[in-house]
Amino acid sequence: MKSSPVLFDLSSIGSPIELLGMNREELELFFVQLGEKPFRAHQVLKWVHKHGVMEFAAMTDLSKALRARLADLCTLRVPQAVRGQTSRDGTCKWLLKLPDGNCIETVFIPEERRGTVCVSSQVGCALRCAFCATARQGFSRNLTAAEIVGQLWYACRQLGENQITNVVLMGMGEPLLNFDAVVSACAIMMDDLAYGLAKRRVTISTAGLVPAIDRLSEASSASLAVSLHATTDELRNDLVPLNRKYPLASLLAACRRFALAPKQRGRKITFEYVMLAGVNDSQADARRLVKLLSTIPSKINLIPFNPFPGIPFQRSTPEAIERFWEILTKAGFLVTVRRPRGEDIAAACGQLVGEVKNPPKGQAQMALGAA
Ligand code: SAH
């Protein structure tokens, strides 16, 4: 084993070490530092994520002494639900309270043959996309890996593990602005000792943070979704202001590189396209989209816009969506139209707002600056 930096301050009485967000590698290192065998990590991963056990005392295949030591040094804090709502269509939305009092939203979308948990990655969001409700509340902070995977932990306990087949990081926030925590949480989601989700079934969605897309192709085997929403820089600058920093040509070049990465072999990138009436839903837009994506292994997900109070956009008509769909399909793309789900409980895409406490001023800029 290569010599590793001291990661955990084992002497830090009073600030317990959070184990919930540690992936296999980190946990193994932690146990080695405790003077234990690395496979203790495997036992703890199973207890926590497979069986939902949060009491060290109940982890009966660890020695009593080790259990006592863990209880002394460590903590396993899961989010607390302050509200749970179920839509007429079966979609569930939970408002989860974090230890610092901030709240985030997590959604479960049941479908005939799959069940998807939509997970948040930040409290609020810094990106200010023109059509998104989360943007309105500003940015407060990144979630920790524990808080990200904690949402899946919570959903599993509520629903049972076999209800959940997919995870999408499409809740509040921009996942790639919280890179390390997101990658680590996704590793736990895909670990057979924890949730065991296939890499095709864990999807990270980004508004297009080019350098982070390149890093992601090395760091994770999770799937990628890109929120495109426009086919010209002029329009995309308005809808997704991040485009001013990373315009379409550079974003699509990064997507091309991503699709070629060894960890991604044979997989397609999902391009999300929100359908806004009279804004980006013309036949000319559809034809431009065909051209832009012609050299990238892609599938396209059309998202009928979900309105919320005070927003100047409207959802495209079913006819406009169908016409758009037809042009893309005839060009050979796999195109799905996302059925709006959970609208009656404001759980649909772009409607998640959580509750943000005192967004610190200037942090949004900082978060972007570091991108
Ligand atoms: N920041 C990430 C993930 C969050 S949003 C990203 O941009 O990809 C998940 C998807 O919902 C994105 O494609 C986003 O653009 C879309 N979305 C946001 N607001 C929406 C709304 N009001 N109606 C429909 N889709 C919306």
All domains in the chain, ordered by first residue: 15-75 (1.10.150.530), 80-369 (3.20.20.70)
Q: What is the per-residue pLDDT for 134? A: 87
C-alpha to C-alpha distances, 259 to 150, 254, 328, nearest whole angstrom: 29, 9, 20
Q: What is the pTM of this model?
A: 0.92
Share of the chain above pLDDT 90, in %: 81
Burial of 371 (0-12, 13-18, 19+ CB in 10 A): middle
Give the residue, by CA position, lying nearest to ligand 1 atom 19.
350
CA 67/CA 59 separation, integer angstroms: 7
From 88-102, 152-166, 345-359, the region with the lowest mean pLDDT: 345-359
Q: Is the pLDDT of residue 343 over 50?
A: yes
Q: What is the mean pLDDT of the chain?
A: 91
Whether the per-residue pLDDT at 347 is higher than 50: the answer is yes
Ligand 1 pocket by Cβ (under 6 Å): 129, 131-132, 170, 174, 205-207, 227, 272, 274, 303, 305-306, 349-350
**Average pLDDT, stretch 302-322?**
95
Q: What is the pLDDT of residue 10?
A: 65
- Between strands 80-86 and 74-75, the pairing is unpaired
Per-residue pLDDT, 120? 96
pLDDT at 87: 92
Task: Provide the H-helix boundaries in the chain.
Answer: 24-33, 40-45, 64-73, 133-136, 145-159, 179-190, 210-219, 233-239, 248-260, 283-292, 318-330, 363-369
Residue 12, pLDDT above cutoff 60: no
**268: DSSP letter:** P
Share of the chain above pLDDT 70, in %: 90
Catalytic residue among 105, 147, 174, 272: 105
**What confidence score (pLDDT) does residue 366 get?**
33
Pocket test for ligand 1, best of 109, 129, 179, 315 (most atoms within 8 A of CB): 129
Give the Cα separation of 295 and 224 in Å (integer): 16
The Cα 315–Cα 335 span in angstroms is: 18
User: For the segment 17-71, what is each residue's pLDDT rounded down to a tens digit?
Assistant: 999 999 999 999 999 999 999 999 999 999 999 999 999 999 999 999 999 999 9
The token duo for 344 is 């009656």
Half-sphere exposure of 260 (CA within 13 A, CB side): 9
Give the pLDDT confidence score for residue 341 in this predicted structure: 80
User: Ligand 1 center to residue 350 CA distance, Å?
Assistant: 5
- Are 206 and 246 in contact, with CB atoms under 8 Å apart? no
Residue 367 has pLDDT above 50, yes or no: no
Is 1's pLDDT higher than 50? no
> In Å, how far from its chain's centre is CA 135?
16
Higher pLDDT, 224 or 366: 224
On the question of pLDDT at 168 being above 80, the answer is yes
For residue 15, the model assigns a pLDDT of 81
